[in-house]
Structure 1
Amino acid sequence: MLRLSRLINKRWLIVVATLVAVFGLSLGWPLPQPLFNQPLSRLLLDQNGQLLSARIATDQQWRFQSVSPLPEAYTTSLIQFEDKRFMSHPGVDPLAIIRAFYLNLKSGRIVSGGSTITMQLARMVDGNRARTWWQKLQELHLALRLEMQLSKQQILSLYAANAPMGGNTVGIEAAAWRYFGRRLTELSWAESALLAVLPNSPSAMHLARSREQLRHKRDFLLHKLWQKGILSEQDYRLSLLEPIPDKPQPWPALAGHLLDRLSQEFPGQAVFHTEIDRRLTQKIEFILQQHSQRLGALGINNLALIVVDNATLQVKAYFGNTPFSQRPEFAPYVDIASQPRSSGSTLKPFLYASMLDSGDITPRMLVPDIPTAYGSYQPTNYDESYRGAVSARSALTASLNIPSVRMLDQYSYQAFYDQLKQMGFSHLFRTPEEYGLSLILGGAEVSLVDLTAAYANLSRQAQRAKPIVQLPLRYGEAALPEAGRSPISQGAAWLTLDALSDVTRPGLHSMHRLFAGSAKVAWKTGTSYGLRDGWAIGTTRDITVGVWTGNANGEGRQLLTGTRAAAPILFDTLKIMPGLSWPQTPDAALKPIQVCRDNGYLPKFDCSRQSVLIPAGARFEKISPHHVQVTVDRKTGLRTSRECDQTGSVVSKTFFQLPPSQAFYYRIAHPGYTPLPGFNSACSPDRRMLGGNFEITYPAPGQVISVPRYLNGLQGEVVLRASTNRESARLFWHLDKHYLGETRTFHEFSVALDEGPHQLRLVDEQGVWQQVRFSVVR
């Protein structure tokens, strides 16, 4: 019997030892990863970690990912209220359990659970299931596992991040913003104590009831902290005076469109740290509200604005869409700043810079500004006038369309398209051939994001001796994609910005004067076809501001132009940014060359000259085509030849002479323009010297003319035009080998044309002739 008893005891010992070993091993069983798999709210933080915007989690809970370490005031308050022996027990507090058992037995009901912070965390991990003895044992076991595998600080952080805080608010991070409108590290002792007691009865945070019960719990905890010497008496008394929140704080709503966009691009990320300047954003928000009311009265219902730090390409302010009202037809939730719109004239500076680098132009070089057609494509200037010829720099500052199209035709729209791609314009989805020459006049699709980045990169390039990497805008810590080197040199970038700093546009003269005392700014406006988009971009050494105005549905408005709608917003924004400066002149990236003062080409004969800066790497080799040297009679001033010279008064003289089509408009704005003098009647000129006396200006060779019908059903007529160097010149008109008649002074003919190909031939009184072939469609 004794042997049997020993055998039984030995077996029991083995069983107990085995159970203990299994239990011990079970404590080391890896915890589930992650412990909590609930969806998180999306947060957008500014450069100081302050909340800019938030979006509720998919389960409709405000549950924030921890972004700040737990402050001492909160952890101390929590431990003193919930689990004063937390730092010393292994996850289960036997003394607390015995005390809870005694209180429950004495009361005849459950009045205390004896749960430690770790046990409460275990209950959260297990899904807050119904309380049973078996469930309690499971929580005890999980609490021990948590203590064995996690540090005390990790347990506190997990508890604070997942504790119920009333209503649909979960975790202390969300509660700090929800009830106090501040981040966790900025809470007072009274606020920390309130959040420490709240999970004990989260339903008490009902702002219409249980407020006194909640105050009593908070004040009880504050009293305990004072008694233990954690709070001074002064801090304790002051903390008691702090009120309980009477309503939830509204969630911050700055840069919400950016948060939505980043959430779509990075679906696995819950917190987005940005470099957005909160104070600057709030100031700009007030400006946009004022302008939104101004534009809304004109039927312009949406605007967007971005501010970028040029040095880092970090976004400092982002307004994806500020609607006139929140009505659905104004698409208030659409991030228009990232959506493609018509570029208007905003790409002209990049063409100008590219042609400076390629040696195709100098800033002073004249570009034709006359009626122009490429097949059926006929660009016009915004004011529907012509200047004959303008310098490339003036064409940019005045944003003239015809010179820009002619420059693109010379440069190649295919090459320019490739450069735009390299500069980061990501919305160009068609082939270069589909865009054609309209690429420079609003035919391209660009977003405010890409456009602002391109201008910021242009400013960066103007300040770098080596080619920069073309980068997109940055939104905090997001990694930057690979990009190519800038296709624009430092010298060309600086010269382009310098030209844009002289921009003056009709309707903005007074504004320009008001801004003259402020920092120098390079700026450009743009208006899309049909008055659907108004752009204004401004850049300095330090920052770039991009503005878009229009309607989300693409509807045009009469006053929807970059000048009237967008530019005032740009300048109001620049005014609140002190300390703006201008890039220094990069002397090493520029070189001076001598050009003719009249037309900006390399000198020919003895033209009046001046020095002009071009990029150091550019090779400009175009000799002036507009300067001719002729012999004139010193006495009469008429042209002659040395063979006719009988008095010795013939001299050679250089004249600046534009083609007749350009001279016709050029001399209107330049009264000092002097055409070649007429020939001395006693000296017959060589016919080869007469070829430039007149020019057919419309139609252009190969042009396709579309002839509409009038309202009365009759077919419209085509007005044929020509220009001459002499007002008294006579021209004889022939169309398709039929004589039409002659003209003097005003050289125009209005004719009705059949559909199909035609040939126009003009002859002057000296027998010199010119002809063009064109076609008509209906």
Structure 2
Amino acid sequence: MKFFKFIKFLLKFVIGCVLSGMVIALVGYFYYSRDLPDVMQLKDIRLQTPMQVLSSDGELIATFGERRRIPLKYDDMPPVLLNAVIATEDSRFYDHYGVDPIGILRAVYIALKNHSFSQGGSTITQQVAKNFFLTPEKSLGRKIREMILAIRMEKELSKQEIIALYLNMINFGSRAYGVGSAAYTFFGKQADELTLSEAALLAGLPNAPSAYNPISHPERALIRRNWVLHRMLDQNFITQADYDSAIAEPLGVEYHVPKIAFAAPYVAEMARQFMYDKFGEKAYTDGYKVYTTITKADQVAATKAIENNVTNYDIRHGYRGPERTLWKADEAPWDKDKILSMLNNYMCYNGICPAVVINSDNNQAQAIMASGATITISFDGVKWARPYINDNQQGALPTSVAAVIKEGQQIWVKQRDETWQLTQIPSINASLVSINADNGEIKALIGGFNYNISKFNRATQAIRQIGSTIKPFIYTAALDKGLTMSTMLNDAPILRSNAGSDAWRPKNSPPVYQGPLRLRVGLSMSKNVMMVRALRAIGVEYAADYLERFGFPRENISRHESLALGSASFTPLQVTRAYATLVNGGYLITPYLIDRIEYSEGGVIYQHTPEIACKDCLTELSYDKKDDKKADLNNVENADLSSGSDEPEQSKLKAEDAMLLPSPNIPFDRLINPDGTVSNLVKENENVGPVYAPHVISSEIAFIMKDALKSTVWGDPNGLWTGTAWRVKALGRKDVGGKTGTTNASKDVWFAGFGANIVTTVWLGFDDHRRELGKARRDPLSDNSYIAAEGGAVTANPVWNEYMKVALNGVPEQQDIKPSSVISVLIDKKTGLLATSPDNNAIMEYFIEGTEPTKYATQEVGTKVMDEQGNTSELF
């Protein structure tokens, strides 16, 4: 009887305990379920994946983001890797429902046996729940929440989805997150190329990625890999033969980083800033692929052109001496370890690397590199190194190696043709911008010699004086005021004196004056005094306002006569955009760098819609063009063609302000979601067709100015005069043109020009704008070489040529289509009037119909002119 009472009591106790446990569990479930996230978020989870910046042809330029990750789909994960992970982390993964009681009991048993917790008992599902939703704190409450989430996940997600999340999310060490990134980081492979041994190694890393890192701790990694292989054998995932073969393999690990196809750091930074402005910090974690408009071939060509010509400039101007002297001849030399420690504080720039001279004599020197290697520099490697005296003067050629570099000096070296040469970090800087004139896409952009030395982007941020590169735009304004390419302007000295001010004497460079010349000739030969006279004819205010049509900022436009000589200051990108207007028929396109943005999983979320030049559109001009806005040519024709240098009274005709379009709107952009809806991140483009750029100058004027810029290359057909851009002839194309630019004292040098529909601008100068580029021998290795001042033609034009030779490769030569209202007229070369016969004194010139000359040139009888008093003088 007592026994049955005991059994009854025990049964009630057990039922009570069970019911109490159920109540406690239920209360605990509701308590710890509060504010738990919805596991369905994992269906659309975005893993922290770095941003990739790519060229238009899909080449990787840069990555931004702390965590390296290559997200993979379940089907892209090899079975050998899945089995390795399951055998290591959760052998009953396919049998439990998120929480594994057997695994928990096994962990508790081992903990009691070993007096420490060596196994956690967490399933793969629990680890996913913890990493995505919970903090890493070790507490009972966090563990209960983890279990609840794991159970919910198993109801909503398939096993394949869960393990794919785990393998894409987990940290493998060395900044590699996810198995896709880990496979590349440690083996340089895709995940589906992993061998059994490699899969086992990766499967063992998540448990303690730092402790088992195969690069820093290969012995531990080997032990861990072998343990994983043993687990796979125990779980019957592999055979004994597989095990024996894999365990005999070496680790075969080597650190790999994402392969950058080519360097374009200024482009990458512009793309990064664009993305950050749109997406904030998520730009670095949401796996965006940013496709830029540049191409690898063009960008590499631009980089080489800048490097080669900046280095050539530096060589011409002499050797400025060592970076520093570590010890002198009467001091004890540094030991190798000390030298290497110091060198590790420096880095290489464009192949220019630091070294320390340890021995030097007349014929050669030895130097230690940061790698510890010893190199030899022969006399051929230093023979260029004339001592730098100042920007305008260099010393004599060296006669020995020891006369240039000495023991104890830290120098800069570069390897060329398998030999080491002395060099130096250039002090001059440069930029290059190249765009498609028809739609504004940037084809190449260089913001400086080296991004690591200076992150300042001179292509977009440096506001520098433009020099003679401005002349085509002022001449364009002159054409719009009634001048033509046959208008005669006097190439004679100018003197302007004002009370209380210094005399202003604009001069030609070189100071050669040829008397009356046609406007086309004056532009091609870059005659400064002719430009001043043209500016006076149309009025300074009119010209200044007219420049705004080309996108030049009003605040950077000077409003005095020095504007004619390029006293205004603009960025290279602004100059390139303006030249594109002359090339594309008069349309003000807007340069852009970002073509589209994609998710890492695929799908375009942003597509740029460029403003294009509508060359076939019959549109009216976007500004007010009135017949009464003509240039005041009376003074120019009646007095300014005299041979004297005294100036006529300044024209009192005040030019009316040109009525410009408002600044162009930001190009329409679309942000397209994967489901086809449009996000409000950027404005939706309601116009599904093309977006046309504003037409800011007439197609007729643009055609004539573009043709005139070709004359700066080809000069006079009979060789009577040469344009300043004659070096462009080396490209062997007829569809090229451009303009040199050099400011006072050669502080800024430019070349802007076009080939086909590609417009490129090159600028060189010192960041300290007070410093001039100076002069030097054109061949620094010859004492017989002539000394010449640096300028747009000799310093910037070679950069342009070197780049455009590549950019135009494979681009068909383009023939310009003449507008119907432009006519060709045979004129006399010397007077600009109609020619009486088609002889060597005659040439075809373009005119807008109605502006062509109506008088014929008279037979030349001499070169003397007579004034009102009957005095005669030679005209030329």
**TM norm. shorter chain > 0.5:** yes
Tell me the CA shift for residue 566 of structure 1. 1.7
What is aligned with 1:485? Answer: 694
Structure 2: runs of 5 or more not aligned: 1-7, 318-390, 392-426, 597-605, 611-664, 668-692, 716-721, 776-789
- In structure 2, the CA distance between the partners of 1:310 and 1:392, relative to structure 1 (3 Å rule), is same
- In structure 2, the CA distance between the partners of 1:422 and 1:92, relative to structure 1 (3 Å rule), is farther
- The higher radius of gyration belongs to 1
Tell me if the contact between 2:429 and 2:449 (Cα under 8 Å) persists in the aligned partners: yes
Give distance in 2, aligned partners of 1:596 and 1:456: 29
Instruction: State whether structure 2 residue 762 is matched by structure 1 residue 532.
Output: no
What is aligned with 2:475? Answer: 352
Structure 1 residues 97-121: Cα deviation after superposition (integer angstroms, max 9, x where no partner): 5665565566554343343444333
Tell me if the contact between 2:129 and 2:149 (Cα under 8 Å) persists in the aligned partners: yes
Give distance in 1, aligned partners of 2:476 and 2:163: 59
Give distance in 1, aligned partners of 2:535 and 2:122: 77
Tell me if the contact between 2:739 and 2:753 (Cα under 8 Å) persists in the aligned partners: yes
Instruction: State whether structure 2 residue 823 is matched by structure 1 residue 585.
Output: no
For 1:297-696, what aligned pairs fall within 5 Å after superposition? 297=315, 298=317, 301-323=428-450, 332-339=454-461, 340-356=463-479, 358=480, 360-373=482-495, 376-426=503-553, 428-430=554-556, 434-459=558-583, 461-462=584-585, 468-477=587-596, 479=608, 481-482=665-666, 485-504=694-713, 511-512=727-728, 514-516=730-732, 520-554=735-769, 555-559=771-775, 560-577=790-807, 578-589=809-820, 591-594=822-825, 596-598=827-829, 603=834, 611-615=844-848, 619-620=850-851, 655=858, 674-675=862-863, 691=868
Secondary structure of 1:337's counterpart equals coil
Secondary structure of 1:421's counterpart equals helix
- In structure 2, the CA distance between the partners of 1:17 and 1:106, relative to structure 1 (3 Å rule), is closer
Give distance in 1, aligned partners of 2:291 and 2:198: 25
Give distance in 1, aligned partners of 2:564 and 2:846: 25
Secondary structure of 2:117's counterpart equals coil
Give distance in 1, aligned partners of 2:742 and 2:85: 64
What is aligned with 1:200? Answer: 207
Tell me the CA shift for residue 584 of structure 1. 2.2
Structure 1: runs of 5 or more not aligned: 628-653, 657-671, 679-689, 695-723, 728-745, 747-778
- In structure 2, the CA distance between the partners of 1:279 and 1:601, relative to structure 1 (3 Å rule), is closer
Q: CA RMSD in A?
A: 5.1
Tell me if the contact between 2:33 and 2:145 (Cα under 8 Å) persists in the aligned partners: no
Tell me the CA shift for residue 382 of structure 1. 1.5
- In structure 2, the CA distance between the partners of 1:620 and 1:96, relative to structure 1 (3 Å rule), is farther
Tell me the CA shift for residue 309 of structure 1. 3.7
Structure 1 residues 421-461: Cα deviation after superposition (integer angstroms, max 9, x where no partner): 343334x525x5x43233342212211222223334443x2
Give distance in 2, aligned partners of 1:352 and 1:398: 14
Secondary structure of 1:575's counterpart equals helix
Give distance in 1, aligned partners of 2:535 and 2:591: 25
Tell me the CA shift for residue 13 of structure 1. 7.7
Tell me the CA shift for residue 142 of structure 1. 4.0
Tell me the CA shift for residue 322 of structure 1. 0.8
- In structure 2, the CA distance between the partners of 1:486 and 1:209, relative to structure 1 (3 Å rule), is same
User: Paired residue for 2:131, among 111, 115, 124?
Assistant: 124
What is aligned with 1:289? Answer: 307
Give distance in 2, aligned partners of 1:308 and 1:410: 33
The percent identity for this pair of structures is 23
Tell me the CA shift for residue 674 of structure 1. 2.7
- In structure 2, the CA distance between the partners of 1:200 and 1:251, relative to structure 1 (3 Å rule), is farther
What is aligned with 1:63? Answer: 67
Secondary structure of 1:429's counterpart equals helix
Give distance in 2, aligned partners of 1:51 and 1:336: 23
The one-letter code matched in structure 2 to 1:350 is F
Tell me if the contact between 1:261 and 1:335 (Cα under 8 Å) persists in the aligned partners: no
Q: Could you state the TM-score of these two structures normalised by the residue count of structure 1?
A: 0.65
Give distance in 1, aligned partners of 2:446 and 2:156: 46
Give distance in 1, aligned partners of 2:23 and 2:445: 70
What is aligned with 1:256? Answer: 265
Secondary structure of 2:294's counterpart equals coil
Higher relative contact order (CA 8 A, sep 6+): 2
The one-letter code matched in structure 1 to 2:119 is S
Tell me if the contact between 2:751 and 2:792 (Cα under 8 Å) persists in the aligned partners: yes
Secondary structure of 1:583's counterpart equals coil
Tell me if the contact between 2:736 and 2:753 (Cα under 8 Å) persists in the aligned partners: yes
Give distance in 2, aligned partners of 1:604 and 1:15: 110
Secondary structure of 2:744's counterpart equals coil
- In structure 2, the CA distance between the partners of 1:445 and 1:26, relative to structure 1 (3 Å rule), is same
User: Paired residue for 1:52, among 41, 61, 64?
Assistant: 61
Range that drifts further, 84-93 or 369-378: 84-93
Give distance in 2, aligned partners of 1:185 and 1:390: 72
Give distance in 2, aligned partners of 1:79 and 1:289: 49
Tell me the CA shift for residue 416 of structure 1. 3.8
Tell me if the contact between 1:257 and 1:320 (Cα under 8 Å) persists in the aligned partners: yes
Give distance in 2, aligned partners of 1:406 and 1:501: 23
Tell me if the contact between 1:287 and 1:569 (Cα under 8 Å) persists in the aligned partners: yes
Give distance in 1, aligned partners of 2:525 and 2:531: 11
Give distance in 1, aligned partners of 2:835 and 2:152: 92
Give distance in 2, aligned partners of 1:449 and 1:71: 46
Tell me if the contact between 2:476 and 2:705 (Cα under 8 Å) persists in the aligned partners: yes
Secondary structure of 1:539's counterpart equals strand
Tell me the CA shift for residue 199 of structure 1. 3.1
